[in-house]
Structures are given as structure tokens and as C-alpha cells.
Structure 1
Amino acid sequence: MVNKCCVPHCRGNYVGGEKVSVFRFPDDELLKMKWTRSIHRTNFTPTTYSRVCIKHFMSEDVLWETSMFDESTGKLITVKLPAPRLREGAVPSVFPERPSCTSVNARLEPEEKRRKKEMEQLEKCIRDSIEERRLYEEARSFKTLGECFEKLQKFVSFGDFSFI
């Protein structure tokens, strides 16, 4: 089973999404709290199955190799890791897919929201009114005397009276 990224709007390891490395939430409670705050999920408590993908960490936070000093030979041995690891204390901080509406300041107060909705409705009514007026004028305007006669016949019944 492939673990999916729990960051909102991230498609890491989902069907059709990018296949990426993922990391467990840290055991350290303070660091876990920092992770939880940084991903901006409301009412979220990480479980043992919760993961954050590599796309949400700075490149300097991800370790691809490890080194050790061999005292017997006096050499530094560097080995590529089979899977990437996180630098100690790393916190997810890269969220390119987060829409602007998830920012803390994006939420409108109820009164402001009501005014915005009223303004949208008012603008729609004005647009409809302008279009209705345009159609009215178009139906009643003419450029020649023949057009005038045709339009008059649509709106006025002259009975047996004829223009010849």
C-alpha cells in the first residue's frame, strides 16, 4: 500500500498524481505540532498512517546520503541512502498547490459576505437592465422609412388602413 500525502490539495501518491517519497509525522510532540500547524488542515490530528510528501520540504531539509568517519582508516565514508531522510528538526514549508482561499485572512466576516453578495446581485441586475434596454432600443430603432413602417406594423394595428 502506498502512503498518500495528507496536505490539503496535494496529489502526492494519489491515483493520477505524482509518485513521491513520504515522511511520517515525528514522534517529538513539539515538532509534530509544528508540522500540523504548517500544513493548515482544520481539526486534523495525525495518526500513525499520516504522511507528508517530499514536495513540502526545502531541498536542504532532505538527506540523500549519509557520511561516517572511519577512525581505523582515517577516511570519511559517504553512502547513498536507499530512501531519503529528513534533516533533524525539518518542518514542511513548501506549499505551491495551496490556493489563496486557504490563507487565514481570506475568510470574510458575515456582514462583509452579505454586502459582497448584495453587490454581485446588484451588478447582475444592472447588466440585465442594460441588455434589456439595448434589446428594446434595437426593436424600436430604424434607419429608413421602410424599416419604420415594418416596425410600426409589429407594434400598432391599423386595421384596414393602408399606406400607399
Structure 2
Amino acid sequence: MLERAIESVLFRSRWIMAPFYLGLVISLLVLLFKFGSELLHFVLHATGATESDTILGILALVDLTLTGNLVLIVIFSGYENFVSKIDPDGHPDWPEWMTRVDFTGLKQKLLASIVAISAIQLLKAFMNIDKGMNENTLMWLVIIHVVFVGSSLILAWSDKLSNNKH
């Protein structure tokens, strides 16, 4: 009887995570505000912008979009994997991946998004190399990006080994 009560409490404790996911939804709204601000700045300064400034502006918007995608993946996959299943019935535009991403897929998507965001940051740094980009800072950006790429490759390899054993 005590064991059942403990298991029931533990099982229901997963709902403690729900406010975290709601908080991430609010962070998406903050990210949307930042995106709108960047877009407005980009459009208002487009006529006087150089080609490099235009590319950097677009990269900033892509970076914010990828970050938003990352947060969305965490919200849906995390909720589905750790709190409760979402019923997709009645939603004709329901993305297929939302009910199919397990914890392994979530880790891989997260790392892939982080690598893409890191690559954009590195590309933005390279674009600013003529504007006095510090070589030490650039070196660290490259090192960090290589670590992210290496980590994602090691994770994919370990997941492949784990799947082969099952």
C-alpha cells in the first residue's frame, strides 16, 4: 500500500514540469519581440546598408528563428516525453514530428540546432573580421563550434551503438 502511494506521488510529480514548458512559451513571446525589433531595425536601415550589413542582418534573423525552433522542439518534445501525451486529433496542420520525437531524437535535434546557431555566430564573426574582430575571440568561437560539432557526432555515434544493441 505504501509502495503504491509513493509510486502515485512520483508519477503525478511529472506535472511539476508543466509550468516550465509554459515559461518556455513566454520566452517564445520574448523572442518574437526581439525578432520584430531586429526586423524593424533591418528594414529601416536597409537602404544605407552595405552588402555585409545586409547579410549580417539576415543572419541575425535566421539565428533568432533557429533559436525559436529550438525552444519549440523542447516545449513539445519535452512535454510529450515527460509530462503527458498531446492529442493531435482535430488539428489538420499538426506536424508529424511532434508525436514521434523520443528522448534520443530530442537530444539530436537540440544539438543540431545548437550547432546551426553556433555556425551562424561564427559566420557573423567572420563577416566582422574587417571591423576589428579580435583574433582571440574568433579562435574561441571556432573552438566552441568544433566542440559542439564533435559532441553531436559523438552523441549520434553512441545512440547508434545503443540502438544496435537493442
TM-score, normalised on structure 1? 0.21
Give the greater-gyration-radius structure (CA).
1
Where relative contact order (Cα < 8 A, 6+ residues apart) is larger, the structure is 2
Structure holding more strand per residue: 1
TM-score, normalised on structure 2? 0.21
